[in-house]
């Protein structure tokens, strides 16, 4: 328990340090020449706090590993937390290569959203299922997360490029798609907010099956109830409908219900921000990026993919195939997780092909970088929470 307390404290400390570092990176927005020295100091403090926060999160990882006896990447909380850590590492690596302090103002908040999102899932340490009791757990999963974390930097640079370069004074498809991407980020924040609220209320609703056994426990009001389940908790909201029968994963109803609440809460939050700003979020952010060179952002997009793609290939395809052969007796199946890992690999392979042979630079490259990380998050969130498969234990 002492180790777990230390682990939780270190994770919380890392989150706070990332938040403070973001504020210092934000201080580099000033454009006056007289403020250039202050900007340099603010950027130095920001990256120093980021590194200290990363070390704190590394201590979290080590202490939880010792407490659990296995690599802490076996469920949604642990993997998402580790992914957030890899995102920060990817930012640190690219920061020292390009010294672009303003990248931290976008990369760190998104990393914090991922870490906060992870904390909304059960944090208890559970015994590993038999198929996970292998050293390939940390070889495969950590390599995949590291590759995805570095690829994330291409997304951060890509979204910055699009916000800076797209004309926000006119309404067109490019603006609509850009705003839709920003809206998606609000869905994650909405889930964090609504889950935190009901956790503070200690909300709980239990469903039983036809045999009288407990089949699901909800910590959010049940909009979508479990298939064939009967609500037995009194004075709580009745489900509006049952989860479709084709969603057969572990706790499919509860997971599907979480997705619905994410859209509901995130949409309300986005609407409130739009009412306050009275303009698209992208248009509000664009003036902040005037001093950032678009060619530099384009280079960061490309560089992060050239680093992250080989690492993802190693972990997501090669190591994954080896472990699949050991665990299930075959190198490849058509499990949803495997399919989307292949889709991710093919997409980034196409990214590099189009950039090197077809000259897709600038805005085209930015759209690809954003779409690529969207595929990664779809694999992580939707495939894990909605689609059933051999990886449903995640």
User: How do residues 23-37 score in pLDDT, each as one tens digit?
Assistant: 888 877 754 444 445
Looking at residue 391, its pLDDT comes to: 52
Cβ neighbour number for residue 197 with a 10 Å cutoff: 12
- Interaxial angle between packed helices 320-328 and 336-357, expressed in degrees from 0 to 180 and rounded to the nearest 10: 160
DSSP 40-85: HHHHHHHHHHHHHHHHHHHHHHHHHHHHHSS-S-SSHHHHHHHHHH
Work out the pLDDT band at 49, boundaries 50, 70, 90. very high
Average pLDDT, rounded, for the chain: 84
Section 208-236 average pLDDT: 80
Q: For 7-11, 87-91, 319-323, which range has the lowest pLDDT when averaged over its residues?
A: 319-323
Cβ proximity of 50 and 18 under 8 Å: yes
pLDDT at 386 over 60: yes
Q: Which has more pLDDT, 141 or 366?
A: 366
User: Dihedrals φ, ψ of 208, to 5°?
Assistant: -115, 150
Looking at residue 242, its pLDDT comes to: 85
Looking at residue 277, its pLDDT comes to: 87
CA pair distance 385, 394, nearest whole angstrom: 8
Work out the pLDDT band at 162, boundaries 50, 70, 90. very high
Cβ proximity of 207 and 230 under 8 Å: yes
- Percentage of the chain with pLDDT > 70? 90
Looking at residue 33, its pLDDT comes to: 46
Q: Which has more pLDDT, 209 or 176?
A: 176
Looking at residue 284, its pLDDT comes to: 86
DSSP 209-271: -TTS-EEEEESS--SEEPTT-EE-SSSSPPPSEEPPTT--STTHHHHHHHHHHHHHHHHHHHH
Work out the pLDDT band at 388, boundaries 50, 70, 90. low
Q: For 167-171, 185-189, 342-346, which range has the lowest pLDDT when averaged over its residues?
A: 167-171
Task: Output the six-digit token pair for 350.
Answer: 């196409």
Q: Which has more pLDDT, 118 or 367?
A: 367
User: How do residues 100-136 score in pLDDT, each as one tens digit?
Assistant: 888 888 888 888 888 888 887 777 777 776 666 777 7
């Amino acid at each position: 328990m002492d180790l777990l307390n230390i682990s939780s404290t270190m994770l919380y400390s890392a989150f706070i340090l990332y938040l403070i570092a973001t504020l210092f990176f934000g201080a580099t927005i000033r454009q006056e020449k007289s403020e250039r020295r202050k900007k340099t100091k603010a950027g130095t403090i920001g990256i120093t706090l980021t590194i200290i926060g990363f070390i704190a999160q590394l201590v979290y990882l080590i202490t939880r590993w010792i407490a659990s006896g296995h690599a802490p990447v076996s469920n949604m909380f642990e993997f998402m937390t580790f992914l957030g850590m890899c995102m920060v590492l990817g930012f640190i690596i690219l920061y020292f290569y390009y010294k672009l302090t303003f990248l931290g103002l976008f990369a760190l908040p998104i990393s914090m959203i991922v870490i906060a999102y992870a904390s909304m899932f059960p944090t208890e340490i559970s015994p590993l299922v038999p198929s996970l009791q292998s050293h390939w757990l940390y070889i495969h999963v950590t390599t995949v997360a590291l590759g995805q974390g570095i690829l994330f930097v291409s997304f951060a640079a890509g979204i910055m490029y699009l916000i800076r370069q797209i004309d926000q004074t006119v309404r067109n498809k490019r603006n609509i798609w850009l705003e839709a991407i920003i809206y998606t980020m609000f869905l994650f924040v909405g889930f964090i907010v609504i889950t935190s609220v009901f956790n503070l209320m200690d909300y709980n609703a239990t469903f039983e099956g036809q045999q009288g056994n407990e089949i699901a426990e909800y910590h959010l009001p049940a909009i979508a109830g479990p298939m064939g389940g009967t609500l037995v908790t009194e004075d709580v909201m009745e489900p509006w409908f049952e989860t479709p029968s084709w969603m057969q994963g572990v706790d499919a109803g509860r997971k599907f219900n979480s997705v619905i609440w994410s859209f509901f809460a995130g949409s309300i939050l986005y609407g409130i921000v739009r009412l306050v700003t009275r303009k698209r979020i992208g248009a509000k952010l664009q003036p902040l990026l005037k001093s950032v060179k678009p060619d530099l952002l384009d280079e960061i997009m490309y560089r992060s993919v050239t680093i992250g793609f080989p690492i993802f290939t190693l972990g997501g395809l090669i190591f994954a195939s080896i472990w699949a052969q050991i665990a299930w007796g075959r190198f490849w199946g058509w499990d949803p997780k495997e399919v989307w890992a292949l889709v991710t690999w093919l997409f980034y392979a196409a990214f590099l092909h189009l950039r090197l042979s077809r000259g897709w630079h600038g805005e085209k490259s930015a759209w690809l970088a954003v779409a690529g990380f969207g595929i990664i998050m779809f694999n992580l969130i939707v495939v894990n929470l909605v689609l059933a498969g051999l990886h449903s234990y995640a």
